[in-house]
Amino acid sequence: MPRRIVSLFRNLLRKHTVEQALDDELQSSVEILAQEKMKDGLSRTVALRQALIELGGVEQVKEEVRAIRVGRFLENFVRNLRLALRTMAKTPSFTAVVILTLALGIGANTTIFAMVSRFVLHTAPVGDPPTLFTLHTTDHNQCCNNFSWPLFTDVRDNAKSFSGVAGFYELLPASISGSGDPQRLWGQAASTNFFDVTQLGMTLGRGFRSDEQNSPVIVLGDRVWKSRFSSDPNILGKSIALSGHPYTVIGVAPPYFRGIDLILDTQFWVPIGNIDQLLPNTGHFDWRNYHWIAVAARLKPGVSRAEAAAELQLLSQRFAQAHPDTEKNLGFHFDRAGSLPPRDKSVILVFLSTLMLVVFLVLLIACANVGNLFLARAAGRQHEIAVRIALGATRGQLLRQVLTESVLFSLIGGLFGVLISVWATGGLSTFRFPVPVTLDLNVGIDYKVLLFTFLLSLATGVLFGLLPAWTAAWGSPSTALKGEDVLASPGRFWTLRNLLVVAQISMSLVLLCVTGLCLRSLRSASSISIGFRSSGVLAMSIDPRLHSYTPERTVQFLIELQRRCSVVPGVSSAAATDALPLSGGHRSDGFQAVGKKPLDPTPIVELYMASPGYLDTLGIHLLNGRDFSNESASSPRVAIVNQVFADTFFPHENPLGQSVSSGGITYEIIGVTNNIKSRFLGEDLRPVLFRSLPQTVASDPSFEGYTILARTAADSTSVATSVRSVIRDMDPTLAVFNKQTMEHHVREALFLPRLAGTLFAVFGTVGLLLAAIGLYGVMNHTVSLRIREIAIRMALGAQASSVLRHFLRRGLQLTAIALAIGLPAAFVIAKLFNSILYGIKPNDAITFVSIPLFLAFVTLLASYIPARSATKLDPMTALRYE
């Protein structure tokens, strides 16, 4: 309807002309009517009067005409908006408090939703994400494992539901040439159809050709292309050194692609046939029981997910019959590409949904608070509103006006909330998982988060605006016109405001209890005995295997490196090992004692390689027996175990001299140490076995390289430089990674308790502040309403203390009810946190006694302050108070 749009613009933009024309028309109508009447013999004055009466009043008709104009709604909206802005500017402190409150509540939600969006809602960064799936194998329906090479080829060649099935080794370490010091990176070895199945558009060049399975070609990730090859546009066809082998660059992946999943930070891709060369001494890549290959499959157009699942089900039965020894209970697990790893999914989802719940509580508290502030203000505006209703304003109009204002507040609050969460997600992104693999855990604000925040702000505005709007528009105008407070409802305890305060305090209680638990957990986590001394120890890692070192040369290199490091000035002792404890799990295997009844189930033992001096350097105490000395690869295998190991396998016996075996290798126990934490800080103690490094490198090489440890007395940064130069002197091509102090490493191991502690401390404080402000506001208002009554009572001889007691009792009543509601709720919610608490139980007595007391104290204070100021007033002033 173009004509109406023209009218709309005319009505809005040329309002003055339109109004003038209407006025002219009505004036001329009055004249015409008056002239008619003058013809009947009336005087001009009388005729004009009668004409006006017949017309029904010029202004009234104008109002009727305006009401039907196009754009009337918009005009009203703009008017309401102007009014709202004016009110906001008139009460800056009120405005600031409301906006800050909302910004905190909405910002908390935005931040957590940003995490949800990043880890749960994101689709894989591939072409046509909905039809790409990741496959896992299951055993006895138990989730989930990778594929073996033969199983992968079986599925690839037999499954008809897929247009392509790609396999890839997810974590391939390699050192890469280019500018600067050699650097160790993580890449993937993929089947040649990888880039076709993922349907990726390349920044430069192409993916693999089908005849390149064993060719030395490489696709670079965007970041490594930019940082190490300075975005060289002519890089295609050039040869680069990957772990010392020449590879020809054939393509550069787009910047958003770092692998199909959204967590690993993959920086290069090579054809899968090169894996033997890049991971030497690993072997078994073609075994049917060696599960090493991750699989992604592209659904054929027109095939549904259910059909594909049914076909896989059939295939798994066929494979089980064909290979009963390895695939008897085989099944397949099916997931949208880019979903969380199936094994960790549920834990992450629980963590995120609990967080969502908590921030939602914060927002509800904020809403209750702001609603209360608005109620208090609405009370002051009752007179105005009543007058407007009496003058003919409809309730709809009033409702629209109040809602315009509250939504405006919440949208501005949301805007600041986004700013808060930009800052907060920046902070979150600096948290690091203590794992040797590089992960991409950056959280940012994307369009989904912005949309969520917008809708949330809108809903918030309606929620906290509706209550005051409702009471304002539906309160009885006659009461308000007489100057009485329609919301005061004298004598009634359950007023809307009191309800809001009770809700607020009980929600704060839940929040504070959770906060208390997390903070206590953080405290107990940082005082957990880890079993070794982290201070003054320096660690850095190398992976000689990536530089084509033989196992023998690796051992020689490590022993020599240890010797040279131990004479660096400032170093008191040095040692070599494979991986550091508290890295989230490294090597572990089932063990049995030789010559004893086998334990059932087979105990899983944590394995570390250790050079002589390892125990000293890390400060692990030898309780019994001796340290490694100069074992050689060919001499009988020896091992040192921890106390838990000894107690598990040799209760009431001397473990020294006993033998244990695993995977066909027998170790003689030569020493027993104190217990150490192996994977995580919060774990129950696990059995640990230290193997002699020279005896193990050949038979069971580390996938993540080797670490040199140096205990320093002096400043560790200067020593770090010296140790780095020792490595450079011995082999300048070696890439050094994970340079850090043990202290730093242990701090990273506090990741989860620290993250939870930080988040909840912030949310808890915000919630408490809001609740205290809310209660203070309500008590203040209650007192101000009764100030005359107080004055009369005091003038008649009431003691200040009895007045004070009265109000304190009021505050306490509200608090007591709130605690009665909040405590059981807090108990239930705290149970959800069990999995992330360290060293304390979810029904921790200290938390559940101290937090309610603390909250009661705060609420008491919030009611005491306004009550006391009322009793301090001069009765004469108070009596005249309006």
Partner 1 sequence: MEPLGDCYRIPIRGAMSEKRTDLLRGTLDLLVLKALSLEPLHGVGISRRIKQMTMGAFQVSFGSLFPSLHRMEERGWVEAEWRTSENNRRAKYYRLTSLGRAQLKVEERDWNHVVKVMKAAVQSA
> Exactly one of 43, 44, 64, 390 binds partner 1 (CB under 8 A); which one?
64
Strand partners, 671: 625, 640
Name, in order, each residue with C-beta under 8 angstroms of 600's C-beta and a sequence gap of 6 or more: none
Q: Tokens 């080797």, residue? A: 706
Which contacts (CB < 8 Å, 24+ apart) does range 383-390 have? Answer: 383/480, 383/481, 383/483, 385/472, 385/473, 385/475, 385/477, 385/480, 386/475, 386/477, 386/478, 386/480, 386/481, 387/481, 389/473, 389/477, 390/477, 390/481
* Choice between 72 and 288, CB closer to partner 1: 72
Residue 159: CB atoms within 10 Å: 18
Q: Which helix (H) or strand (E) holds 241?
A: strand 239-242
For residues 27 and 529, which CB has a smaller minimum distance to partner 1 in the complex?
Answer: 27
Instruction: Extract the tokens encoding 223.
Output: 């970041």
Give yes or no for residue 828 binding partner 1 (CB under 8 A). Answer: no
- Considering the complex, state which of residue 394 and residue 725 has its C-beta at the smaller distance from partner 1: 394
Q: In 443-596, at which residue ranges do the beta strands (DSSP E only) sit?
A: 537-542, 571-577, 587-590, 592-593
25 near partner 1 (CB under 8 A): yes
**Which residues partner with 624 through β-bridges?**
672
- Which residue, among 733, 744, 171, 176, has the nearest Cα to 438 in the 3D structure? 171
Between 20 and 489, name the residue whose CB sits nearer to partner 1.
20
Least Cα distance to 873 among 785, 807, 800 occurs for 800
Q: Which of 3, 16, 86, 872 binds partner 1 (CB under 8 A)?
A: 3
State the nearest-atom distance from the C-beta of 474 to partner 1, in Å.
19
Q: Which of 488, 484, 373, 487 has its CA nearest to residue 882?
A: 484
Q: How near is the Cβ of 508 to partner 1 at its closest, in Å?
A: 46
Contact flags string 546-575 toward partner 1, x per CB under 8 A: ------------------------------
Residues sharing a CB contact under 8 Å with residue 601, sequence separation 6 or more, in sequence order: none
The DSSP symbol for 581 reads S
Nearer to partner 1, 57 or 569 (CB): 57
- Contact stretch for partner 1 (CB under 8 A) within 22-30, 321-329, 661-669, 686-694: 22-30
Q: Does 61 bind partner 1 (CB under 8 A)?
A: yes
Please report how close the Cβ of residue 470 comes to partner 1 at its closest, in angstroms: 22
Task: Pick the closer one to partner 1 by CB: 76 or 123.
Answer: 76
| Cα distances (angstroms) measured from residue 870 to each of 288, 307, 681, 789 | 83, 75, 54, 11
Nearer to partner 1, 31 or 874 (CB): 31
Nearer to partner 1, 32 or 713 (CB): 32
Residue 312, both tokens: 């896989």
Would you say 21 or 853 has its CB closer to partner 1? Answer: 21
Is 15 a binding residue for partner 1 by CB under 8 A? The answer is no
To the nearest whole angstrom, how small is the minimum distance from the Cβ of residue 11 to partner 1? 8
Q: By CB under 8 A, name the one of 12, 19, 42, 55 that touches partner 1.
A: 55
DSSP 8-state class, residue 264 = B
Question: Which is closer to partner 1, CB of 72 or CB of 323?
Answer: 72
Query: Where in 26-45 is the site for partner 1 (CB under 8 A)?
Result: 26, 28-29, 31-33, 35-36
Name the minimum Å distance from CB 475 to partner 1: 23
**Cβ-based nearer residue to partner 1, 64 or 653:** 64
Q: Which is nearer to partner 1, 4 or 284 (CB)?
A: 4
Size of the site for partner 1 (CB under 8 A): 28
If one asks whether residue 391 binds partner 1 (CB under 8 A), the answer comes out as no
Is 23 a residue that touches partner 1 (CB under 8 A)?
Answer: no
Residues 6+ apart with CB under 8 A from 417: 102, 103, 104, 105, 106, 107, 108, 109, 110, 453, 457
- CA distances in angstroms from 42 to 32, 37, 325, 667, listed in the order given: 14, 6, 117, 128
Helices marked H in 533-602: 551-566
Of 57-65, 146-154, 505-513, 704-712, the window that binds partner 1 (rule: CB under 8 A) is: 57-65
- Return the sign of the alpha-carbon dihedral for residues 122, 125, 129, 133: negative
Q: Which of 7, 227, 277, 624 binds partner 1 (CB under 8 A)?
A: 7
CB nearer partner 1, residue 32 or residue 599? 32
Shortest Å distance, C-beta 62 to partner 1:
8
The only residue of 67, 89, 796, 845 in contact with partner 1, by rule CB under 8 A: 67
Q: Among 47, 70, 204, 218, indicate the residue that binds partner 1 (CB under 8 A).
A: 70
Largest CA distance in the chain: 136
Phi and psi angles of residue 44, each rounded to the nearest 5 degrees, phi first:
-60, -40
Q: CA 824, CA 753: separation in Å to the nearest integer? A: 24
Kindly state whether residue 54 participates in binding partner 1, applying the rule CB under 8 A: yes
Which span (50-58, 278-286, 596-604, 828-836) binds partner 1, by CB under 8 A? 50-58
Q: How far is the CB of 854 from partner 1 (least distance, A)?
A: 56
Choose, by CB under 8 A, the member of 13, 43, 46, 56 that binds partner 1.
56
The tokens of 365 are what? 């508290």
- Please say which residue, 54 or 384, places its beta carbon nearer to partner 1: 54
Q: For partner 1, which stretch binds (CB under 8 A), given 53-61, 73-81, 246-254, 426-434?
A: 53-61
Q: Which is nearer to partner 1, 69 or 122 (CB)?
A: 69
Determine if 442 is a binding residue for partner 1 (CB under 8 A): no
Which CB, 31 or 344, lies closer to partner 1?
A: 31
Tell whether residue 53 is a contact of partner 1 (CB under 8 A).
yes
Among the residue ranges 58-66, 332-340, 515-523, 615-623, the one whose residues contact partner 1 (CB under 8 A): 58-66
Q: How far is the CB of 68 from partner 1 (least distance, A)?
A: 4
60 interacts with partner 1 by CB under 8 A? yes
Return the number of the residue (26 or 450) whose C-beta is nearest partner 1. 26
Applying the rule CB under 8 A, the residues between 592 and 631 that interact with partner 1 are: none
Give the C-alpha distances (Å, rounded to integers) separating 723 from 317, 562, 705: 56, 10, 17
Q: Least distance to partner 1 from the beta carbon of 396, Å?
A: 11
398 in contact with partner 1 (CB under 8 A): no
Binding residues among 833-862 for partner 1 as defined by CB under 8 A: none
> Which of 23-31, 244-252, 350-358, 494-502 is the region at the interface with partner 1 (rule: CB under 8 A)?
23-31
3 state DSSP class of 781: helix
Q: Applying CB under 8 A, does 49 fall inside the site for partner 1?
A: no
For residue 672, give the nearest of 742, 587, 615 by alpha carbon: 615
- Structure tokens of 752? 């989860």
User: Which of 24, 552, 653, 729 lies at the binding interface for partner 1 (CB under 8 A)?
Assistant: 24
CA 628 and chain centroid, separation: 45
Which two three-digit tokens encode residue 860? Answer: 């008491």
Q: Could you give the CA distance from residue 155 to residue 815 in angstroms, rounded to a whole number? A: 64
Q: Which residues have CB under 8 Å from 7's CB, separation 6+?
A: 69, 70, 71
Q: Is 74 or 121 the residue whose CB approaches partner 1 more closely?
A: 74
For the CB of residue 50, give the shortest distance to partner 1 in the complex, in Å: 9
What value, to the nearest 5°, has the Cα angle with vertex 88 and ends 85 and 89?
90
Q: Are 189 and 292 in contact (CB under 8 A)?
A: no
Q: List residues near partner 1 by CB under 8 A.
A: 1, 3-4, 7, 21-22, 24-26, 28-29, 31-33, 35-36, 53-56, 60-61, 64-65, 67-70
